[in-house]
Structure 1
Amino acid sequence: MKYLLVIALILGVFWLWRHNRQVENKAHQTPPAGKKGAPAKALTEMVACPVCHVHLPKSEALPGGKGFYCSEAHRREAES
């Protein structure tokens, strides 16, 4: 009878240890409270150069009369 009690005690301690580890892992995996649902990075509009068809962010493109270009040389080539 005492062996059964010792085995039950060991199993109870083991279960508590595993349960606490699982709770700690779940706590570390959740994002901070203020960051839920917020996108990681803002989306930028992409444009294609009409000369070489390279896609680049609109903020980095050079505007021209016929669209946006990846470089000054391509803007001059397309508009001449």
Structure 2
Amino acid sequence: MVRLIMWVALIAAAVWFIKRLINPPAPRTKPEPPEIAATPMVRCAHCGVHLPRDRALSQEQQWYCSETHRLQGPAARDH
């Protein structure tokens, strides 16, 4: 009985190996991650925080992070 099981296993392994040689498996390719469009960032003229341009407020070619900072205007910076 053990001999019969060994012969069946050997034949099954040979068939599997031959099928694999004839039709090799397709190489696995990693799916490309979707391209994420980067949102342009701007700097608040008052506090210097960077934020996406679509969330910023603009006034006279200056960008602000909030209405309060827009009303206060640009900060005086010593560089």
What is the TM-score when the length of structure 1 is the normalising length? 0.53
Could you list the runs of 5+ residues in structure 2 that have no partner in the other structure? Answer: 75-79
After superposition, give the CA deviation of every residue in 1:7-63 in whole Å (9 maximum; x if it has no partner): 5323235547989xxx4783xx554xxxx7962x22211001122222111111100
Aligned partners of 1:9, 1:57: CA distance in 2, in Å?
65
Aligned to 2:60: 65
Q: Relative to structure 1, is the Cα distance of residues 13 and 54 closer, same or farther in structure 2, using a 3 angstrom cutoff? A: farther
What is the TM-score when the length of structure 2 is the normalising length? 0.54
Pair 1:48 & 2:43 matched: yes
Higher helix share: 1
Aligned partners of 2:72, 2:41: CA distance in 1, in Å?
21
Q: Relative to structure 1, is the Cα distance of residues 63 and 13 closer, same or farther in structure 2, using a 3 angstrom cutoff? A: same
**Percentage identity across aligned positions?**
32
Equivalenced residues, count? 68
Ranked by relative contact order (alpha carbons within 8 Å, sequence separation 6 or more), the top structure is: 2
